Amino acid sequence: MTSPVPRPATPPVPGPSSLTIAAGGVLLFLAFGTTGMVAFVRVLAGMFR
Amino acid sequence: MRRPGLSLPWPSLPQGWSNAVNRAGRRAGTKRAWLLPLATLPLLPAALFALVSGQGAALGGLVGAAAIAWAAGRVLARGGRRSARRAAVLMGVAAGLAALIAAKLGWPGALVMAFLAWAGTRLLLDGVGAAEDAAEEAEAEAARTLAARAADDSVPALLRDAEARLARIDTAGRSLRDSRLLAASQAMHAVVADLVARPERLPAARRFLTVQLEGLERVAAGLAAGATPPPGLPLLLDDMRRAADALRVDMRRAVDEELDIQVRVLSARLREEGYA
């Protein structure tokens, strides 16, 4: 007699802390915000050159 | 039934839009997938000015970065193996490209921006990768067990088939994050496990197994195809779970009654024979 098939465990629904998500958002914003700002300045400088 | 998807700040959308948003929100990580292309919004002013002033290189870099970020969102929304990690790498490439070509920060600056975007995305998607890895592990474990069981001739083919179908329903339930579908499927797992232990009960449960499995498969297929769950679905899934639980109770009761009768017969015989 074989043993019953073990039920595959249902992975828990991820529950990241809002602090982690906020930190991620800040880093993303820092990366793209800085890049966008510098790019904006460069483009403006290019317009008036 | 809890509808996984984007939580919207407004009460309702037109039906088609609402369906599209819910479909988009089904899989793990999709709740945060739309944030990735959104993160490139700070590039928009520079892109507009580059377009107006005809600075093709800068415009190309910015549009390319936005396109890569959009692709990262798509990768995440589609889910699959290591989608959170792949999306983070794409976001890093997007930031690096914009920093290198449009902001002209040079390689060191581009690498710093790429790292920030990569790390930011990893944090933003914290938990998505872990859930996906756990789901993959559970599926791999189930597949290994099923393969071992398939090689075992002592388990009737019908039960092996039922286990394989339930594993597929489980996978669908997990990716849809549908707790009722999962509960119904796991109740059926328990029935199948009981039948594996006592295959002589299979003829009595054969019809039940067929009907339940077909029903669950159709529900899972419909939901996976993006159908809007009808109002009666939660009740149906609860009924299916209850029916599976009831069948197990019945089977157990039959076993108990059998043992009870055997005990009585044995006691009577021992008394007759003068041993008790």
ipTM: 0.71
Q: Is the pLDDT of residue B143 over 60?
A: yes
Measured distance CA(B89)–CA(B253) in Å, rounded: 57
Confidence of residue A17 (pLDDT cuts 50, 70, 90): low
Dihedral (CA of B66, B68, B73, B74) sign:
positive
The answer to whether the Cβ–Cβ distance between A32 and B42 falls below 8 Å is yes
Q: Is A46 exposed, middle or buried (0-12, 13-18, 19+ CB in 10 A)?
A: middle
Measured distance CA(B218)–CA(A32) in Å, rounded: 44
Q: For all residues of chain B together, what is the average pLDDT?
A: 81
pLDDT tens for B198-220 read: 888 888 788 888 898 899 989 98
Q: DSSP character for B9?
A: S
Q: Is B3 near chain A, with CB under 8 Å?
A: no
A44 → closest Cβ in B39, B49, B62? B49
State the smallest CA–CA distance between residue A12 and chain B in angstroms: 7
Measured distance CA(B82)–CA(B131) in Å, rounded: 10
Q: Is the pLDDT of residue B4 over 90?
A: no
pLDDT given at position B51: 93
Dihedral (CA of B148, B149, B150, B153) sign:
positive
State the smallest CA–CA distance between residue A26 and chain B in angstroms: 7
Burial string for B21-54 (b: 16+ CB within 10 Å, else e) reads: ebbbbbbbbbbbbebbbebbebbebbbebbeeee
Confidence of residue B228 (pLDDT cuts 50, 70, 90): confident
Long-range contacts of B142-150 (CB under 8 A, 24+ apart): B142/A5, B142/A8, B142/B167, B142/B170, B143/B167, B145/A5, B145/A6, B146/A5, B149/A2, B149/A5
Measured distance CA(B25)–CA(B34) in Å, rounded: 9
Least confident window among A27-31, A38-42, B222-226 = B222-226
**Six-digit token string for A24:** 């991620």
Task: Return all residues near B126 (Cβ < 8 A) that are at least 6 apart.
Answer: A14, A16, A17, A20, A21, A24
Q: Is B139 near chain A, with CB under 8 Å?
A: yes
Confidence of residue B161 (pLDDT cuts 50, 70, 90): confident
Within 8 A of B4 by CB-CB distance, chain A residues are none
Q: DSSP character for B178?
A: -
First vs last Cα of chain A: how many Å apart?
Answer: 84
Within 8 A of B114 by CB-CB distance, chain A residues are 31
- Please give the single-letter amino acid code of residue A29: F
Contact status, residue A44 vs residue B49, Cβ threshold 8 Å: yes
pLDDT tens for B51-105 read: 999 889 999 999 999 999 999 988 888 776 678 888 999 999 999 999 999 999 9
pLDDT given at position B176: 79
CA of A15: which chain B residue's CA is closest? B127
A14 → closest Cβ in B128, B155, B182? B128
The percentage of chain B sitting over the pLDDT mark of 70, rounded to a whole number, equals 81
Measured distance CA(B25)–CA(A4) in Å, rounded: 35
Task: Return all residues near B269 (Cβ < 8 A) that are at least 6 apart.
Answer: none
Which position has the higher pLDDT, B34 or B58?
B58
State the smallest CA–CA distance between residue B257 and chain A in angstroms: 22
pLDDT tens for B235-259 read: 999 899 999 999 888 888 888 888 8
CA of B176: which chain A residue's CA is closest? A13
pLDDT given at position B159: 83
**Six-digit token string for B186:** 């796991």
CA of A38: which chain B residue's CA is closest? B103
State the smallest CA–CA distance between residue B204 and chain A in angstroms: 19
CA of A36: which chain B residue's CA is closest? B43
Confidence of residue B20 (pLDDT cuts 50, 70, 90): very low
Contact status, residue B70 vs residue B93, Cβ threshold 8 Å: no
Which position has the higher pLDDT, B15 or B218?
B218
CA of A43: which chain B residue's CA is closest? B50
Q: Which of B123, B111, B209 is nearest to B159 (CA)?
A: B209
**Six-digit token string for B154:** 């002592």
Q: Is the pLDDT of residue A38 over 80?
A: yes
Q: Is the pLDDT of residue A6 over 60?
A: no
Within 8 A of B192 by CB-CB distance, chain A residues are 4-5
Which position has the higher pLDDT, B21 or B68?
B68
Confidence of residue B1 (pLDDT cuts 50, 70, 90): very low
